[in-house]
Amino acid sequence: MLKQVELQGKRFEFCSVDGGRTWSSDPRSLIAYKRRRERARADLRKMFEHVVEDVAEPEPDAICEVNLQSEASYKL
């Protein structure tokens, strides 16, 4: 979690790695938190790129497609 607090016109950033029970304003903790967050976002982007690449384009003339267990495909 990342929290920004303004005290007497100065802005401070705090991070919490345990769901808000403890907070730290140490610059190393903030940098490490931001790196973990960016790494997690990059991993999610890669995962969704693979999902989007694996999804087949629908056929323009088919309203819907039904796949049965016999692996036969019927287009409606």
In tens, the pLDDT along 19-53 reads 778 878 787 888 888 888 899 999 988 888 877 66
Calculated CA dihedral for residues 37, 43, 49, 55, nearest 10 degrees: -110
Q: Which 3 state secondary structure label does DSSP give 20?
A: coil
15 within 8 A of 24, measured Cβ to Cβ: yes
pLDDT at 74: 46
Would the pTM of this model clear 0.85, i.e. be above it?
A: no
pLDDT at 42: 92
What stretch of H or E contains 28?
Answer: helix 27-54
What token pair was written down for 60? Answer: 């323009």
